[in-house]
Amino acid sequence: MALRGHKMAFGGIKDAVNASPYYQHLSMRLIEFSEKGSVMTMEINDNHKSVYGRAHGGAIASLADSACSLALVTVMEENEFIATQSLNVNYILPVEEGVLRAKGWVVYRGRHTAILEADIFDEAGRKVAHAHTVHVIRALPEEEGENFIDKARKSKVME
């Protein structure tokens, strides 16, 4: 059962994502998560900067990819897993500091692939990057048990 159209565990998934060591390491947070997609933020600090003193493209790409992946979660079925197959980021403006906000959404969800997009904005609301991803969708092998999304669905149900 996909999350779209159902009162499911959005809160539980949000909590699990924000507790992730990877997202914490990059100062990324899942702010909004619904049938419309996801919104993530990343506070730029010195660890995100290139030798030129600006946010490294890889950090921005990670934010974009994460926003796309989490948008896809809203249309996943039980016992599926996803992985990014390709990621393309067009950088529009340099970023030196502040909080970036990424909005990710599903363009297409097929049986085995999905196409997603994300826009990344700075604190002034200027678009600094646009991303396009293709994700592969596969059945989770039975021996691996439930994915974190299925566990979150069962632990918290929105009222």
Q: Tell me the CATH number at 100.
A: 3.10.129.10
Our CA dihedral for 32, 38, 39, 43, rounded to 10 degrees, sits at 110
| Adjacent-strand bridge partners of 86 | 134
Query: Which residue has 């506070």 as its token pair?
Result: 43
How much is the CA Rg of the chain, to the nearest whole Å?
Answer: 16
d(CA 39, CA 103): 5
Residue 157 within a domain? no
On the question of pLDDT at 5 being above 50, the answer is no
d(CA 94, CA 54): 7
Residue 156 within a domain? no
Residue 3 within a domain? no
| Model confidence band, residue 4 (pLDDT cutoffs 50, 70, 90) | very low
Region 78-82: mean pLDDT is 85
d(CA 61, CA 144): 29
| Model confidence band, residue 3 (pLDDT cutoffs 50, 70, 90) | very low
Report the pLDDT value the prediction gives residue 105, as an integer from 0 to 100. 98
| Model confidence band, residue 39 (pLDDT cutoffs 50, 70, 90) | very high
Report the pLDDT value the prediction gives residue 145, as an integer from 0 to 100. 61
- Mean pLDDT of all residues belonging to the chain: 86
This prediction has a pTM of: 0.85
Of 77 and 124, the one with more pLDDT: 124
Structural domain including 112 reads 10-151
Region 45-60: mean pLDDT is 94
Report residue 152 as tokens: 């979150």
Backbone phi and psi for residue 144, each to the nearest 5 degrees, phi listed first: -85, -10
Residue 124 within a domain? yes
